Amino acid sequence: MADRRPFISLEEFLFEAPLYEQVRLPGTEDELKSIEKQPMDGYCPECGERSMFLRRGKLLNRGDWGTARGSNDMTLQCVRNEKHFIYFHVLFVKWGLQKIGQYPSFATIAQGSVKEYRRLLSKEDGSELTKAIGLAAHDAGIGAFIYIRRIFERIIRKCFDEHKDAEGWTEDQYLVRMDDKILLMKDHLPDFLIQNRKLYKILSNGVHNLTETDCLAFFSVARESIMHILEEEKRKKDEKARRAALQMAIAEHSATKPSV
Ligand SMILES: [Zn+2]
């Protein structure tokens, strides 16, 4: 059986875990504390943006999470509009938890939250990330991994193309293992990607060797990581463009108004 992923927080479990993903029971102090956190942050499909939510109905207190069995309902109410609700149905078993139902669907919430990131993503990345989420929401973990891997490969290729002339790289240098490509471009790639380049190995392993369940168990980590990488990449580019624009403005100013 695949390793079940840790609980992390109630917020993360409710908003980020696809249906049927197997998650361990909360164990650490932070995980247990997260059960009582109010309000929770997450994407509200009705508001069309991130909002805060309060838990409604009978709350299972943190001490009961280890011994509860069977299914439990959890309801979240949006603080921006009291008519916005998200409903979850959670199964408690000896080894942990599974979301076995929710409304609005996981895909609606996850795709909505990608929409928020859309302005940071290229059209192709945004559309493939949405496809990956849709596949994971329908238990197709391997397919979801393929799309995430394609986005990853595109980030690497783009970086190579953007810098090859200035760095004097040849196409031969691109024909090496992914790890070596990343190290070659370490001055230009997002730090998170360089530090977590193992992610590519996991994604490739998923496509070739892992089961659907294995891939699903890791999917939310893969998705969050790739979003983080895309954000960092965009931020890096914006910073560079801003610096270049400022430099140019300063140079122009000095050229027209010589210093005394
Ligand atoms: Zn709302």
Question: Considering the entire predicted model, what is its pTM?
Answer: 0.68
Q: Which pLDDT belongs to residue 152?
A: 93
Measured torsion, CA atoms of residues 164, 152, 175, 162, in degrees rounded to the nearest 10: -10
Of the spans 11-25, 52-66, 102-116, 153-167, which averages the highest pLDDT?
153-167
Q: How large is the average pLDDT for residues 99-123?
A: 83
> In which residue are the tokens 């149905």 written?
89
Q: Which pLDDT belongs to residue 258?
A: 66
Q: At what angle do helices 212-256 and 198-208 cross, to 10 degrees?
A: 140
Token pair for residue 214? 């294995």
Q: How far apart are the CA of 51 and the centre of ligand 1, in A?
A: 6
* Residues at Cβ < 5 Å from ligand 1 ion: 44, 46-47, 51, 78, 80-81, 84
In the predicted model, is pLDDT for residue 186 greater than 90? yes
Q: What are phi and psi of 103, to 5 degrees?
A: -145, 130
User: 189-214 pLDDT, tens per residue?
Assistant: 999 999 999 999 999 988 889 888 88
Q: How far apart are the CA of 82 and the centre of ligand 1, in A?
A: 8
Q: How far apart are the CA of 125 and the centre of ligand 1, in A?
A: 27
In the predicted model, is pLDDT for residue 237 greater than 70? yes
- Is pLDDT larger for residue 237 or for residue 203? 203
Average pLDDT, the chain: 89
Q: How large is the average pLDDT for residues 214-228?
A: 86
Alpha carbon separation from 186 to 116, 192, 202 (Å, rounded):
28, 11, 20
Percent of the chain at pLDDT exceeding 90:
50
Q: Which is it for strands 85-93 and 70-78: parallel, antiparallel or unpaired?
A: antiparallel
In the predicted model, is pLDDT for residue 149 greater than 60? yes
**1 band by pLDDT with thresholds 50, 70 and 90:** very low
Q: How large is the average pLDDT for residues 12-20?
A: 88
Q: How far apart are the CA of 58 and the centre of ligand 1, in A?
A: 21
Q: How far apart are the CA of 73 and the centre of ligand 1, in A?
A: 19
